Amino acid sequence: MSSKVRCGIIGLGIMGKEGGQVLQLVEEAEVVALAEPIETTMQEALNIFEGAKPYSDYNEMLKHENLDIVYVATPDIYHRDPVIASLKAGVNVLVEKPMTTSQVDAEEIVKVVRETGKKLQVSFNHRWLSAYYHIKEMIDEGKLGEPIIGYARKNNPISVPTTMLASWALKSSPAWFMSSHDIDLMTWWFNAAPVEVYAKGIKRKLKELKGWDTWDGIQSLVTYDKGQFATFEAAWIYPTSSPYLPDSFMEVIGTEGTTHIDRQREAIDHIGQENFNCPRTFLGSKVFGKWQGAYPASVQSFVDAVINDTKSHVDEIAGLKSTAILDAIHKSLELGKPIDIKYGIDF
Ligand SMILES: NC(=O)c1ccc[n+]([C@@H]2O[C@H](COP(=O)([O-])OP(=O)(O)OC[C@H]3O[C@@H](n4cnc5c(N)ncnc54)[C@H](O)[C@@H]3O)[C@@H](O)[C@H]2O)c1
């Protein structure tokens, strides 16, 4: 590929603007077109991506621009259509996580990736965090024997649903918002397909406090195809005094060894006059004005995969597995029983 990789962005909200800027910093890439239906949001984006061509309809953008990559950053429930339209227009896709909110839609995307031969990466950027990647290497090298039991916790203060996500906390859940990266990491580490999910949740604190019919916390037990299992915990009712955003911990127990990763704090304690907190920097932060960390590394990696025609490191099958688990968690919560995951495609 001689000239720069031409990128378009669909959905210019928080992530579209942030992820777009990270994409723009990749030396080999340029953001040339934007698709966003809300005019004021588009204006904000145009101030950032000067010279990019604005479209209110992403189909028009796909028709008129000769793009190499589209970054889909629409809300979770609106990923399917722009992803499929982009692939069918011959464009490689970087899609925000989760790939879709239903297993049926995820399988549809897998089929279209196969038909078109285009590349897709789901933005599960935690895979590029060196500590998580190191655990994957240890497991692949057999240092834990066979990984058979997993546990992951990602819990947040109550300010997350009541302030940060106030406008859409009711449409989301602690599992969608917090467990999705853990689910991707554990499934990647286990190198296995999920086959059954049993989830329990409770609605008490947010109901009392806000009258909201939403889960305070969820624990999900996921069984994989060789009987291995993992528990995923996500709760968002810690007191606001919690210094951790989020309180995060993962564990894998293997037949020959075990490993833990504690990300409650990422090296820094800040003890101020009024509060104590633990700022996080590992996923992405600016060092001497330049973005560094797992998040920019994941974006660079997809651009490299497109330029060099190499494998995407979080492909459509990874996207399908995590969506299948999350979809089954919410079905299990609704029906109060374990849910079998059956696949409509081979992989
Ligand atoms: N990778 C991560 O760690 C991470 C972190 C936060 C959020 N996310 C994900 O990023 C995605 C976007 O989240 P956000 O917080 O930026 O949401 P947001 O609501 O701020 O932005 C979404 C934007 O998409 C636009 N949109 C909706 N339908 C559209 C369409 N058909 N065509 C074009 N634009 C459309 C909306 O108008 C809005 O501007 C979500 O899937 C979210 O889960 C990922």
Q: Which of 14, 34, 121, 181 to mutate to test the pocket of ligand 1 (most atoms within 8 A of CB)?
A: 14
The reply to whether ligand 1 has any atom less than 6 angstroms from the CB of 123 is: yes
Instruction: Please state, in angstroms and rounded to a whole number, the distance separating the CA atoms of residues 199 and 222.
Output: 8
The reply to whether ligand 1 has any atom less than 6 angstroms from the CB of 172 is: no
In the chain, CATH 3.30.360.10 covers 127-283+321-340
In the chain, CATH 3.40.50.720 covers 5-125+292-315
**For ligand 1, atom 27: residue with the closest CA:** 74
The reply to whether ligand 1 has any atom less than 6 angstroms from the CB of 58 is: yes
Instruction: Please state, in angstroms and rounded to a whole number, the distance separating the CA atoms of residues 109 and 319.
Output: 9
pLDDT level of residue 235 (50, 70, 90 thresholds): very high
The reply to whether ligand 1 has any atom less than 6 angstroms from the CB of 182 is: no
Report the CATH number of the 127-283+321-340 domain: 3.30.360.10
Residue 52 in this model has a pLDDT that exceeds 90? yes
Amino acid identity of residue 150, one-letter, is: G
Looking at residue 335, the DSSP 8-state letter turns out to be H
The reply to whether ligand 1 has any atom less than 6 angstroms from the CB of 12 is: yes
pLDDT level of residue 182 (50, 70, 90 thresholds): very high
Tell me how far the alpha carbon of residue 37 lies from the centroid of ligand 1, in angstroms.
12
Tell me how far the alpha carbon of residue 71 lies from the centroid of ligand 1, in angstroms.
11
Six token digits for residue 188: 């990647």
Beta carbons of 323 and 100 less than 8 angstroms apart: yes
Coil vs helix vs strand at 72 = strand
**For ligand 1, atom 1: residue with the closest CA:** 123
The proportion of the chain whose per-residue pLDDT surpasses 90, expressed as a percent, equals 91
Give the residue among 230, 33, 243 at the shortest CA–CA distance from 150: 230
Mean pLDDT for the stretch of residues 201-223: 96
**For ligand 1, atom 21: residue with the closest CA:** 13
The reply to whether ligand 1 has any atom less than 6 angstroms from the CB of 287 is: no
Coil vs helix vs strand at 174 = helix
The proportion of the chain whose per-residue pLDDT surpasses 70, expressed as a percent, equals 99
pLDDT level of residue 1 (50, 70, 90 thresholds): low
CB atoms within 10 A of CB 64: 11
Tell me how far the alpha carbon of residue 226 lies from the centroid of ligand 1, in angstroms.
36
Mean pLDDT for the stretch of residues 63-81: 96
Q: Which of 58, 74, 314 to mutate to test the pocket of ligand 1 (most atoms within 8 A of CB)?
A: 74
pLDDT level of residue 330 (50, 70, 90 thresholds): very high
Beta carbons of 3 and 27 less than 8 angstroms apart: no
Render pLDDT for 249-304 as a digit per residue (tens, 0 to 9): 999 999 999 999 999 988 899 999 989 999 989 898 889 988 889 999 999 999 99
**Beta-bridge partners for 262:** 249
Model pTM score: 0.96
Instruction: Please state, in angstroms and rounded to a whole number, the distance separating the CA atoms of residues 317 and 161.
Output: 30
* DSSP H helical ranges for the chain: 14-25, 39-48, 58-64, 80-88, 103-116, 130-140, 159, 174, 180-190, 205-210, 294-308, 316-335
Q: Using CA of residue 200, residue 206, residue 211, residue 212, what is the dihedral sign?
A: negative
Beta carbons of 248 and 263 less than 8 angstroms apart: yes
The closest-lying atom of ligand 1 relative to the alpha carbon of residue 58 is 32
DSSP string, 246-315: SEEEEEEEESS-EEEEE-SS-S--EE-SS-EE----SS-EEETTEEESHHHHHHHHHHHHHHHT---SS-
Q: Using CA of residue 180, residue 185, residue 186, residue 192, what is the dihedral sign?
A: positive
Length of the chain, in residues? 347
Render pLDDT for 83-134 as a digit per residue (tens, 0 to 9): 999 999 999 999 999 999 999 999 999 999 999 999 999 999 999 999 999 9
The reply to whether ligand 1 has any atom less than 6 angstroms from the CB of 14 is: yes
**For ligand 1, atom 20: residue with the closest CA:** 13
**For ligand 1, atom 36: residue with the closest CA:** 11
Q: Using CA of residue 291, residue 295, residue 299, residue 301, what is the dihedral sign?
A: positive
The closest-lying atom of ligand 1 relative to the alpha carbon of residue 38 is 37
Render pLDDT for 22-47 as a digit per residue (tens, 0 to 9): 999 999 999 999 999 999 999 999 99
Tell me how far the alpha carbon of residue 72 lies from the centroid of ligand 1, in angstroms.
8
pLDDT of residue 166: 76
pLDDT of residue 263: 93
**For ligand 1, atom 6: residue with the closest CA:** 15
Instruction: Please state, in angstroms and rounded to a whole number, the distance separating the CA atoms of residues 93 and 96.
Output: 10
Instruction: Please state, in angstroms and rounded to a whole number, the distance separating the CA atoms of residues 16 and 30.
Output: 14
Cβ neighbours for 273, distance < 8 A, ≥ 6 positions apart: none
User: What is the fold, at CATH topology level, of the domain defined by 5-125+292-315?
Assistant: Rossmann fold (3.40.50)
